[in-house]
Amino acid sequence: MDLFPQWYVSRHLGVELSNAQKSGLEGIFRLLAESALAQPAVYVHRDYMPRNLMLSDPNPGVLDFQDAVLGPITYDMVSLLRDAFVSWDDERVLDWSVRYWEKAKRAGLPVQTDFAEFWRAFEWMGLQRHLKVLGIFARISYRDGKPKYLADTPRFIGYARAVSERYAALAPLARLLDQLE
């Protein structure tokens, strides 16, 4: 998760975090890591987004799966529904998440038995991913000379702000984002 403070905050925003800000961010990173590690592990694509899905019959074609690993069960759903390049309204994302959760339970996938727990895990997994992507997009811009990715960072800041404002434990991140943006 160091990509966020190193590349996005320090390099892109030009901000040097105070010791208190660093400590608060480290606490958030611990919470997010604990949440991810507490989830049932399944094979995850890690880049499961609309751009990597192709319509075909009888099943969709899935591209770019060479980095698949064992990971948190919510990871691919977050990748798909909180995409880097496409945004859907919260009601639609919630509806799709409920439908996935119900079907996953019926199929015997190891999702949480309570949807509220699944949803929190989904949101926190998304927050971890969004902070990472902010760092990756800044790194791609500055290290690799591809600044077009920075145009999508407001979407990730929006995702991060919305989630961090919904959970008291994530309030330090909401305050940090307010200070940075």
Is 164 in contact with 171 (CB distance < 8 Å)? yes
What pTM did the predictor assign?
0.90
For residue 45, the model assigns a pLDDT of 62
Confidence class for position 50, pLDDT limits 50, 70, 90: low
Is 84 within the bounds of a domain?
yes
For residue 70, being part of any structural domain is answered with no
CA distance 160 to 154: 10
Domain tally for the chain?
Answer: 1
Label each residue of 9-75 as H, E or C: HHHHCCCCCCHHHHHHHHHHHHHHHHHHHHCCEEEECCCCCHHHEECCCCCCEECCCCCCEEEECCH
Both tokens of 52, joined, read 């990597």
- Closest C-alpha among 118, 115, 108 to residue 73: 118
Q: How far is CA 19 from the centre of its chain?
A: 25
Would you state the pLDDT for residue 13? 97
CA 119 – CA 140 distance, rounded (Å) = 31
Look at residue 162 and tell me whether its pLDDT is greater than 90: yes
* In-domain check, residue 69: no
Tell me the two tokens of residue 131: 């902070």
Read off the pLDDT of each residue in 3-21 and give the average, rounded to a whole number: 97
In a domain, 66, yes or no: no
Average pLDDT over residues 89-109: 95
Indicate the pLDDT class of residue 71, thresholds 50, 70 and 90. Answer: confident
Please give the residue range of the domain that contains residue 157.
Answer: 3-39+78-180
